[in-house]
Amino acid sequence: MGKALFIVDVQNDFTEGGALGVDGGDAVAARISRYLAAHAGEYDVIVASRDWHDADNDNGGHFAADEPDYVDTWPVHCVGGTAGAEYDPGLDVSTLTHHVKKGQGEPAYSLFEGTTDDGRSVETVLDEHGVVDVDVTGIATDYCVRASALDAIAHGRHVRVFTDLVAGVADTSSEAALAELAHAGAELAASGA
C-alpha cells in the first residue's frame, strides 16, 4: 500500500505579493520544505500541482473580462511561463516525483484535473504506485486544497490534511472547507513541521 503527498499550488501568484496572494503562503512553503526534509522518504509519490493558465484567452471564463467575482472569475494569475506560475522560492522541489499542471485553457481547482509533464493523470500515477493514503498540503485551503482533497476521497483514497501546512484565502471559508473535508472522511492533523 503506497503513500502520496500532495503539494497544491504553492506558487508565486498565490503567496504574498502575487496576483492572488494568500497571507501565510510563504510560511507554508517554508514549513512544507521542512516537512519534506524530514519525511520525504516516507512517500512513494510526491506530487506538486501548479495552475498553468493560457496567456492568450480567458481560460474558459476563469479570467474575468471586467471585475472578477472571486467565486468563478479571477484576475489574471499563474500564466504558464511567467514568474507568477513558478513555485514559491521557499518550496524545496528537489524531492518531488511528479509535477502537475492544471488549467491550461479551462478552470481547474483540483490537482486531479491536471496532468503530469509526460501527460499522465494523477489517478494513473497513484494507481501505478498502489497509493491508498494521501497527505494534502498547499494553497488555498478553501479552494484548490479543498477540491484536491475531496477528489482524492472520491477516488477512494484515505486523506489526511495537514492543517499547519495549508493557507487559505479567508478564515471563515477555510474553516468551512476543513469542516467539509472532515465530514467527507478526511483526517485533519498537524504535521509537526
pLDDT at res. 66: 87
**Annotation says 144 is catalytic:** yes
pLDDT at 37: 97
Chain-centre distance for alpha carbon 29? 12
Query: Which backbone phi and psi does 49 adopt, to 5 degrees?
Result: -105, 155
Catalytic residue among 3, 9, 51, 151: 9
Say what the pLDDT of residue 65 is: 83
78 in catalytic set: no
Domain boundaries, the chain: 2-189
Look at the domain 2-189 and name its fold: Rossmann fold (3.40.50)
User: Which pLDDT belongs to residue 192?
Assistant: 86
- The number of CA neighbours under 13 Å toward the Cβ of 71 is 1
Residue 29 host element (H or E): helix 25-39
Give the per-residue pLDDT at 178. Answer: 98
> Nearest 10 degrees: CA dihedral of 130, 109, 17, 39?
-10
Low-confidence ranges of the chain (pLDDT < 50): none
**What local confidence, expressed as pLDDT, does residue 88 receive?**
98
- Is the distance from CB of 145 to CB of 165 less than 8 angstroms? no
Beta-sheet strands, E only, within 80-142: 98-103, 115-116, 131-139
Kindly report whether the peptide bond that precedes residue 140 is cis, defined as omega within 30 degrees of 0. Answer: yes
Residue 102 bears catalytic tag:
yes
CB count within 10 Å of CB 130 equals 11
Give the active site residue among 3, 26, 102, 142: 102
Q: What would the pLDDT profile of 119-152 be if each residue is shown by its tens digit? A: 999 999 999 999 999 999 999 999 999 999 999 9
pTM: 0.96
Q: Give the whole-angstrom CA distance, residue 127 versus residue 112.
A: 13
187: closest CA among 162, 165, 166? 162
